[in-house]
């Protein structure tokens, strides 16, 4: 029996601190959709919807991957393989997260009430994809990119091309750093016959794919800025994102992965928060 308090075990289950990757882009979608700061009502329910959705996604991922995690030394200490949480407890947690997500969705723009199943399908499909295809990274990116699209439609009820371009920018950003993340488990994945760009194309394939994804991310952010008609702060934010992505790629090389943790966790967290801050400045000033 774990001595860690139950709420803390659930927080570790879903890596609550990693919400910083997706939540700022939901805010960015909301901010750019009206070129202003949305109402407190909308921001509150977008936040609650994101917390519920992300908690549900991580809970489902841990349930579906429990046996795979148990066979991987890096993940064997996670809550389900280690016995810190039971499957029944995690199922209950997922049900509560789904309820929270649905309550929040029904407080937002009416069209969102019809779109809520789309992320849920993405959450369920994603954990299975690495059993079949190395394109799993792109699927994860698309699922996370829905945060930006959802933030946009939640405020305006509309989905112009700029919303989709922003969502694709986020999707490719996430896919790019998930390629790096796959390097943590490349040997274990090969042994378990799991699919990733790392197992299919090797370390150099990961680096080439990540560079392409992140270059496209910057290009798409530029396209969104031109379409929406943003100000100087937004463009400064794009420059900062580009510089941080370049720094992230400079931290690791195909023959030197010692700083992979810093590239994945630290830099990507800074990117999402920093870009959101510049968008806030752009619409508020």
Among 207, 211, 281, 214, residue whose Cα is nearest residue 241: 214
Q: Which residue has the higher pLDDT, 18 or 137?
A: 137
Is the predicted pLDDT of residue 72 greater than 90, yes or no?
yes
Among 269, 263, 244, 279, residue whose Cα is nearest residue 16: 269
**Residue 282: per-residue pLDDT:** 97
**Residue 108: per-residue pLDDT:** 94
Is the predicted pLDDT of residue 1 greater than 60, yes or no?
no
**Residue 269: per-residue pLDDT:** 85
Q: Hey, what are 77's tokens? A: 């200490």
Gap between the Cα atoms of 168 and 145, Å rounded: 6
**Band of residue 148 on the pLDDT scale cut at 50, 70, 90:** very high
Q: Hey, what are 219's tokens? A: 């290009």
**Band of residue 2 on the pLDDT scale cut at 50, 70, 90:** low
Q: State the average pLDDT over residues 207-234.
A: 97
Mean pLDDT of the chain: 92
In degrees and rounded to multiples of 5, residue 101 shows phi and psi of -60, -45
CATH code of the domain containing 70: 1.10.357.140
Among 91, 89, 110, residue whose Cα is nearest residue 99: 91
Among 7, 109, 106, 99, residue whose Cα is nearest residue 53: 99
Gap between the Cα atoms of 263 and 257, Å rounded: 10
- Is 195 domain-assigned? yes
Domain of 121? Answer: 6-284
Gap between the Cα atoms of 10 and 79, Å rounded: 8
- Is 22 domain-assigned? yes
Number of domains making up the chain: 1
- Is 1 domain-assigned? no
What is residue 39's three-state secondary structure?
Answer: coil
Please indicate, yes or no, whether the overall pTM of this predicted structure exceeds 0.75.
yes
């Amino acid at each position: 029996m774990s001595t860690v308090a139950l709420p803390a075990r659930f927080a570790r289950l879903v890596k609550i601190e990693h919400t910083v990757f997706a939540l700022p882009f939901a805010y960015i979608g909301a901010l750019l959709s009206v070129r202003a700061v949305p109402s407190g009502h909308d921001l509150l329910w977008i936040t609650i919807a994101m917390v519920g959705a992300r908690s549900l996604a991580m809970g489902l991922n841990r349930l579906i991957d429990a046996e795979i995690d148990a066979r991987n030394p890096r993940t064997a200490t996670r809550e389900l393989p280690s016995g810190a949480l039971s499957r029944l407890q995690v199922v209950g947690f997922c049900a509560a997260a789904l309820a929270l997500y649905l309550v929040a969705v029904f407080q937002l723009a009416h069209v969102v009430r019809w779109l809520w199943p789309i992320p849920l399908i993405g959450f369920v499909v994603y954990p299975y994809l690495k059993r079949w295809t190395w394109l799993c990274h792109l699927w994860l990116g698309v699922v996370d990119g829905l945060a930006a699209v959802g933030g946009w439609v939640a405020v305006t009820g509309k989905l112009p091309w700029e919303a989709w371009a922003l969502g694709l920018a986020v999707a490719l950003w996430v896919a790019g750093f998930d390629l790096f993340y796959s390097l943590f488990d490349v040997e274990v994945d090969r042994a378990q016959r799991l699919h990733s760009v790392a197992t299919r194309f090797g370390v150099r394939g990961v680096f080439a794919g990540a560079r392409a994804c992140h270059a496209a991310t910057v290009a798409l952010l530029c396209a969104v800025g031109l379409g929406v008609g943003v100000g100087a702060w937004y463009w400064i934010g794009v420059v900062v994102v580009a510089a941080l992505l370049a720094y992230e790629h400079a931290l690791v090389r195909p023959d030197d992965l010692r700083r992979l943790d810093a590239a994945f966790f630290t830099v990507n967290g800074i990117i999402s928060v920093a870009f959101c801050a510049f968008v806030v400045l752009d619409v508020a000033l």
